[in-house]
Chain A
């Protein structure tokens, strides 16, 4: 078992979840309707709980406590894809990001439910049940807003165009991935991306939305190795503000 490769996988997954959960939680009190406020908050809680479960696995592999890992690292020590750190923008972008991200995550956790690394497989079997609802929520809303009227359609198409290359960055290959594939720990990012395209294409088609022309695809990568947009640093500083106020304290 290649521990370094497993840690690499766990870190990027956990950081994705923590950061998107944090972003989703920023909708609390500000959603377009109360029901959506509540939905985004629910999903945020799931994501942050899932992140915590993965940081616990990392701790079991010798990394620091989940709180220390999540609340004391600097932005360049995070391995999330840049997609999840982008500001919420308007509801169209938040919703489209949620759609693109959660489809990928659902497939990732479904694959990991059969991982030969049993601690992760166990977590994945629980998480994939939660993600089913996140994807259901995303599909429902993307379809509804894609078709409702010209304004909502245009906004959703624009959000898709804007998010697309960042979403492709979710599948940035990791250095030790071959070892994970060899040991049947994880199916690998390329396979995941193929499955993802297969899953999102019919939903977007049904929503009347068009995937950008493949000739324009240009995955925005770097997040997995700590290269981030300018948006992550203020997020991380805000997240750890109280925790760092008195590092000796129990909160």
Chain B
């Protein structure tokens, strides 16, 4: 799932290229323009490295934090088929974190440093995981629609310029497409099931709609900064474009199931663009900054897991162990 890290719009574009060798920069940009991939040992601007580390790291964090709301339903999944499938799905997400941390490590930041920045709150993860999964149906909605959103984001990013990240994303997207099928199958089962099941899935969808609308982030401010990141193929699509793509693909499927969405203004206009009530971006900011219903709990769980596992990691860190740059 879940890579919707966004570029901080407050960074000053003018600062981005300070001190870079103009000739190397021109060669670097020419390579990207030709569609070549940048590899770990290639020259790259400092800002490119910084933004990629931030983005890949946030994506990795989103995978392990994202395993928590769904993971709590593994022990409650109804029946063998669902239990086995959900276990495999959440395991995939943890595996994605492993792939992504490896990709970020090739840029020079260790997994330990990244996890440390996660649990101290220094680096972020996808905002949607600061909302609770109250019922089994919430876990099903997450598996379908949050994974759907993540796929849109990740398919775009897989065409980016940094080789290790693109290769990780190719593998991730293949697995995500199964998650999407799993989530869809679950939602269809509930939506076409008993009255109690329908009620459960409608309530979950209503609850999750605002976080889903937040998922791709606010409209991008068109700045020099964003332009450079798009030229460098770090950012591959605007937040609004991705949100439109999502609405176009999934709103009809949701309506087909006889489910309703809590936005009376949601419709496709004559130009084929989706109109909707602007989500509450103040709420979005509040949650990103720690004020969501589950921020504290998610970080506490992660911190606790790190603390409980410390002795194991220390035991692995013996005199003969040495750091190896991951193959990614």
The answer to whether B80 touches A151 (Cβ under 8 A) is: no
The answer to whether B79 touches A239 (Cβ under 8 A) is: no
CB distance from A18 to the nearest CB of B (A): 9
Answer yes or no: A161 CB below 8 A from chain B CBs.
Answer: no
The answer to whether A29 touches B78 (Cβ under 8 A) is: no
- What residues of B have a CB within 8 angstroms of the CB of A242 in the complex? 73, 76-78, 136
How distant is the Cα of A238 from the Cα of B305 in the complex, in angstroms?
Answer: 22
Answer yes or no: A86 CB below 8 A from chain B CBs.
Answer: no
- What residues of A have a CB within 8 angstroms of the CB of B238 in the complex? none
- What residues of B have a CB within 8 angstroms of the CB of A245 in the complex? 78, 136, 196, 200
CB distance from A71 to the nearest CB of B (A): 6
The answer to whether B97 touches A34 (Cβ under 8 A) is: yes
How distant is the Cα of A91 from the Cα of B313 in the complex, in angstroms?
Answer: 11
The answer to whether B80 touches A41 (Cβ under 8 A) is: no
How distant is the Cα of A90 from the Cα of B315 in the complex, in angstroms?
Answer: 15
User: How does the 8 Å CB contact mask read for A36-51 relative to B, with 1 for contact and 0 for none?
Assistant: 1110011011001100
- What residues of B have a CB within 8 angstroms of the CB of A22 in the complex? 75
- What residues of B have a CB within 8 angstroms of the CB of A239 in the complex? 75-76
How distant is the Cα of A35 from the Cα of B91 in the complex, in angstroms?
Answer: 10
The answer to whether A25 touches B68 (Cβ under 8 A) is: no
How distant is the Cα of A238 from the Cα of B76 in the complex, in angstroms?
Answer: 6
The A-B contact count (CB < 8 A) is 130
Give chain B's interface residue range (CB within 8 Å of chain A). Answer: 35 or more
- By beta carbon, the residue of chain A nearest B67 is A29
Answer yes or no: B193 CB below 8 A from chain A CBs.
Answer: yes
How distant is the Cα of A45 from the Cα of B189 in the complex, in angstroms?
Answer: 23
- What residues of A have a CB within 8 angstroms of the CB of B51 in the complex? none
The answer to whether A34 touches B75 (Cβ under 8 A) is: no
How distant is the Cα of A48 from the Cα of B312 in the complex, in angstroms?
Answer: 26
Binds B, one of A103-111, A116-124, A141-149, A174-182: A141-149
The answer to whether B316 touches A66 (Cβ under 8 A) is: no
CB distance from A35 to the nearest CB of B (A): 7
User: How does the 8 Å CB contact mask read for A231-251 relative to B, with 1 for contact and 0 for none?
Assistant: 000010011011101101111
- By beta carbon, the residue of chain B nearest A55 is B80
- By beta carbon, the residue of chain A nearest B73 is A242
Answer yes or no: A125 CB below 8 A from chain B CBs.
Answer: no
Interface centre among B71, B83, B84, B313 (most CB of A within 10 A): B83
Give chain A's interface residue range (CB within 8 Å of chain B). Answer: 35 or more
The answer to whether B68 touches A144 (Cβ under 8 A) is: no
The answer to whether B311 touches A151 (Cβ under 8 A) is: yes
How distant is the Cα of A215 from the Cα of B189 in the complex, in angstroms?
Answer: 57
- What residues of A have a CB within 8 angstroms of the CB of B64 in the complex? 29, 34
Known A25-B75, A70-B80: A38·B196 in contact at CB below 8 Å: no
The answer to whether A148 touches B318 (Cβ under 8 A) is: yes
Answer yes or no: A130 CB below 8 A from chain B CBs.
Answer: no
The answer to whether A38 touches B308 (Cβ under 8 A) is: no
How distant is the Cα of A239 from the Cα of B95 in the complex, in angstroms?
Answer: 25
Answer yes or no: A30 CB below 8 A from chain B CBs.
Answer: yes
Interface centre among B67, B78, B82, B301 (most CB of A within 10 A): B78
Known A38-B91, A41-B87, A151-B315: A90·B308 in contact at CB below 8 Å: yes
CB distance from A106 to the nearest CB of B (A): 22
Answer yes or no: A32 CB below 8 A from chain B CBs.
Answer: yes
- By beta carbon, the residue of chain A nearest B90 is A28
Interface centre among B98, B309, B312 (most CB of A within 10 A): B312
Answer yes or no: B55 CB below 8 A from chain A CBs.
Answer: no
CB distance from B252 to the nearest CB of A (A): 25
The answer to whether B87 touches A243 (Cβ under 8 A) is: no
Answer yes or no: B88 CB below 8 A from chain A CBs.
Answer: yes
The answer to whether A48 touches B98 (Cβ under 8 A) is: no
- By beta carbon, the residue of chain B nearest A249 is B194
CB distance from B100 to the nearest CB of A (A): 10
The answer to whether A246 touches B196 (Cβ under 8 A) is: yes
- What residues of B have a CB within 8 angstroms of the CB of A30 in the complex? 301, 305, 308
The answer to whether A28 touches B91 (Cβ under 8 A) is: yes
The answer to whether B94 touches A41 (Cβ under 8 A) is: yes
Answer yes or no: A4 CB below 8 A from chain B CBs.
Answer: no
Answer yes or no: A52 CB below 8 A from chain B CBs.
Answer: yes
- What residues of A have a CB within 8 angstroms of the CB of B90 in the complex? 28-29, 41
How distant is the Cα of A242 from the Cα of B193 in the complex, in angstroms?
Answer: 14
Known A241-B76, A242-B136, A249-B193: A28·B312 in contact at CB below 8 Å: no
The 7 closest A-B pairs by CB, nearest first: A32-B309, A148-B315, A32-B312, A251-B78, A29-B67, A41-B91, A152-B315
With A33-B312, A45-B88, A148-B316 already in contact, 13 other A-B pairs whose C-beta atoms are closer than 8 Å = A25-B87, A34-B98, A36-B312, A37-B91, A38-B91, A41-B90, A44-B87, A49-B84, A90-B308, A148-B315, A243-B78, A245-B78, A251-B78
A-side residues, CB < 8 A to B, are 22, 25-26, 28-38, 41-42, 44-45, 48-49, 52, 66-67, 70-71, 90-91, 144-145, 148-149, 151-152, 155, 235, 238-239, 241-243, 245-246, 248-251
Q: What are 30 of the A-B contact pairs (CB < 8 Å)?
A: A28-B87, A32-B312, A33-B313, A34-B95, A34-B97, A36-B309, A36-B312, A37-B91, A41-B90, A41-B91, A44-B87, A48-B80, A48-B87, A67-B79, A70-B80, A90-B308, A144-B316, A145-B312, A148-B316, A149-B315, A152-B314, A152-B315, A155-B311, A242-B73, A245-B200, A246-B193, A248-B194, A249-B194, A249-B197, A250-B189
